[in-house]
Amino acid sequence: MDIAALLPLFTALPLVLGGVLVVGHRFQLLQDIVLFATLTGSIAASAALFPLVSDGQTIAHNIGMWGFGYSIPFVADMFAVLMLVTTAVLGLVCAWFAAASGLTKQRFAAPLILILMAGVFGAILTGDLFNFFVCLEIMLLPSYGLYALTIHQRGGSLLVGGMRLFIASNLLGSTLYMVGVGLVYGTAGSINLAELAGAAKEDPAVALAGAVCLLAMFIKASIVPVHSWLAQTYPYTSPAITALFSGLHTKVGVYMIYRIYAVLFDGDDRFLWIMVALFSLTMVVGVLGAVGEKTTRSILAFHMVSQLGYIMMGVALFTELGLAAGIFYLVHHMIVKASLFMSTGAIEVQYGTGELGKVTAMAKREPIMAVAFFVAALSLAGIPPFSGFVAKFSLMIATWEVNWIYPLAVMVVVSLLTLLSMLKIWGGVFWGNPKTPLPDPAHGQDPDGPHATLGGGVATYTRSDSQTMTEDKTTKKPKSRIGFWLAAPAVITAVITLVLGVGGEYLMQYSEVAANNLMDTSSYVEAVKN
């Protein structure tokens, strides 16, 4: 049996099952079973691809049995498989978090998540520029629906502005990308990536067309100077959706930048200095943007922009070590950022706000959440033995090897500022006096309900009769409100970042294979042609 022929099922099955769940939206048990079974199966299927690509080989299938240049290719190399596994894991844990926080009880939430995942899988696997646009839209349309569910759930019109900006920025990116695809086809006569290998390096017209596609992906990936939409939209949706989007949306753009520059531009070193400057600026702007923020999600959103600068530095260096470090950083960041959004999000769900100083002493009240946040925060800042240290140290070595001194200095300074921001959240949420009065949503009242107000750049939930923390009568300790099911996703992802740090050599080996595939695209081209 040709395993490559099954690659389109990564997109087809979630898409079909999402349609089934739309029809059966009244059956909540069916929604949960299909959602979690599909995502678990996606993890198993993507992990099963590792042996097929571990030696640097690429597998491909041309849909419909059409010839090279006419069919839509689905292609899997080590880079694609790493992304498949990571996105599938994140999809599962974020869906778990969404179910535990009550989001999946909303009508059509489960099918929207499945259809979103179908688009993500297709975008990762496609080897066709236009088909990438199709998969991108499959990913974006349910995202708009999930954002709208948040507005419906909270019952307020104040969140509409964030949704409008989210839609407008993504539509701008999609439109610009389609213009770029049209220009590529007009100048090179093809939109098949394998057929376009090295075309931008040889023809300035194709390079200009490819640059339009890259600019569109810069918008999707939130790279300076087209970055501000992310920090102004992610904090306005629910914590579960923020966590889901953080691991998927911008990362698809990052993935495509790596892929386009490696294949279409063949790593052309004439333009690398431009990217080094942009990505260094992205690190700085993102970390400084977090300084004046007063809510956990707005701070983390700005740091997401900053960390994307690190990830993109791998392609800007375009050396074997640089690419490997960038890919390692990409996997690490997807896990860690989702963990941070879920640990602080669990507190926001149960205590009604993410504003610093409004909820305090969580280290005593919610020690499990405090540990999960602490581990992920140290990893984000690049402290050993967590995965962030391996990622940043490898990237710094790669930068040193090519004698780029100023981006290396930027990395060090931004890492210190990142640590300070994490300490800011720790001091404003997890430290403090356990007897400080806290928001206490009414028993049985949905904290995302109609009393939501907007404050500090993020949705916060308040009620007029704030209460002091209640205590367990037997232990005299503050009682926890966050149960196992809500806490587990953040804990799982925090454990993953520790495992990736301690066992970093294994992920780095896979990342090096992926980097070699990007440096030498012959395997990719031959697999699609055959």
- Reported as a pLDDT band with limits 50, 70 and 90, residue 462 is very low
pLDDT of residue 463: 34
- Reported as a pLDDT band with limits 50, 70 and 90, residue 151 is low
Asked if the model's pLDDT at residue 174 lies above 60, the reply is yes
CA-CA distances (angstroms) from residue 43 to 38, 75, 92? 9, 17, 9
Average pLDDT over residues 214-231: 93
β-strands 452-455, 73-76 pairing:
unpaired
Read off the pLDDT of residues 30-88 as tens digits, 9 standing for 90 and up. 999 999 999 999 999 999 999 999 999 999 998 876 777 677 899 999 999 999 999 99
Asked if the model's pLDDT at residue 203 lies above 90, the reply is yes
Average pLDDT over residues 327-336: 96
Average pLDDT over residues 315-333: 96
Read off the pLDDT of residues 89-103 as tens digits, 9 standing for 90 and up. 999 999 999 999 988
pLDDT of residue 438: 64
Dihedral (Cα; 475, 480, 484, 487), 10-degree rounding: -130
pLDDT of residue 446: 38
Average pLDDT over residues 486-500: 95
If one counts every other C-beta atom within 10 angstroms of the C-beta of residue 87, the result is: 25
- Reported as a pLDDT band with limits 50, 70 and 90, residue 530 is confident
Rounded CA gap, 56 and 219, in Å?
31
pLDDT of residue 359: 85
- State the DSSP string of 154-206: HT-STTHHHHHHHHHHHHHHHHHHHHHHHHHHHHHS--BTTTTTTHHHH-HHH
Q: Which residues pair with 277 in a beta bridge?
A: none
CA-CA distances (angstroms) from residue 266 to 45, 270, 519? 30, 11, 8
Q: Which residue has the higher pLDDT, 477 or 374?
A: 374
- CA count, 13 A, side-chain hemisphere, 261: 28
| Local structure of 104: helix, strand or coil | helix
Average pLDDT over residues 400-404: 92
Best CA proximity match to 371, nearest among 358, 386, 356, 389: 386
Average pLDDT over residues 270-275: 92
Asked if the model's pLDDT at residue 470 lies above 80, the reply is no
**Dihedrals φ, ψ of 497, to 5°?**
-65, -30
**Range among 61-70, 190-199, 345-354, 445-454 rated most confident:** 190-199
Dmax of the chain from CA atoms? 76
pLDDT of residue 432: 72
- CA count, 13 A, side-chain hemisphere, 506: 6
What is the chain's mean pLDDT, rounded?
A: 88
- Reported as a pLDDT band with limits 50, 70 and 90, residue 457 is very low
What residue type is 520 in one-letter code? D
pLDDT of residue 74: 94
Asked if the model's pLDDT at residue 461 lies above 60, the reply is no
- Reported as a pLDDT band with limits 50, 70 and 90, residue 448 is very low
Please measure the distance between the N-terminal and C-terminal CA atoms of the chain and give it in whole angstroms. 16
Asked if the model's pLDDT at residue 455 lies above 50, the reply is no
Rounded CA gap, 278 and 497, in Å?
28
pLDDT of residue 474: 52
Rounded CA gap, 304 and 381, in Å?
12
Task: Report the run of H or E that residue 209 belongs to, with start and end.
Answer: helix 204-221
pLDDT of residue 107: 83
% of the chain exceeding 90 in pLDDT: 71
0.85 exceeded by pTM: yes
Best CA proximity match to 373, nearest among 289, 488, 276, 491: 491
pLDDT of residue 450: 31
